[in-house]
Amino acid sequence: MSEEKIQLNQIIDDFTAEATIRPFKFSDYKGKNLVIYFYPKDNTPGCTAESIDFRDHYSEFQKAGTEIVGISRDSLRSHENFARKFDLPFTLISDPEEKLCNRFDVMKTKTRYGKVGRGIERSTFLIDRNGQLVKEWRGVKVAGHIEEILEAARQLDQSFS
């Protein structure tokens, strides 16, 4: 996997990653639109709300020819527990070495409770059936975000019809 940062309108090179359900292989999603959302941490309020929102709209994304994948730095075990606890029907990728986080440029310096550290900036990416990054949302606020992504996925699906 190349370490080059992924840019808007770029075709994304194939990559593999450790994930729930089964090992993730990007090329397995060719022919479908793909939403990849990066979130800071399993079982935290915002990340849980976001994941549940994706879960609750999953069938609508499916109707729009779109799969969903979540990514954080949490361990595979943490992801498996999180997915089971909230009945998440989609894959979660474990990226503890931040390889995908760095490729998608979502690692940011954050201040939390007066402490400075690096963490994932909540971000979502929409990739078309050909593997091209067509839309990105960075610094996401959870409220209303899923509806915006779903609408973009529907428009993308219609453009292929």
Q: Known catalytic residues?
A: 47
Scored b (16 or more CB within 10 A) or e, 15-49 reads eebebbeeebebeebeeebbbbbbbbebeeeebbe
Q: Which residues pair with 10 in a beta bridge?
A: none
Structure tokens at 129: 């059936």
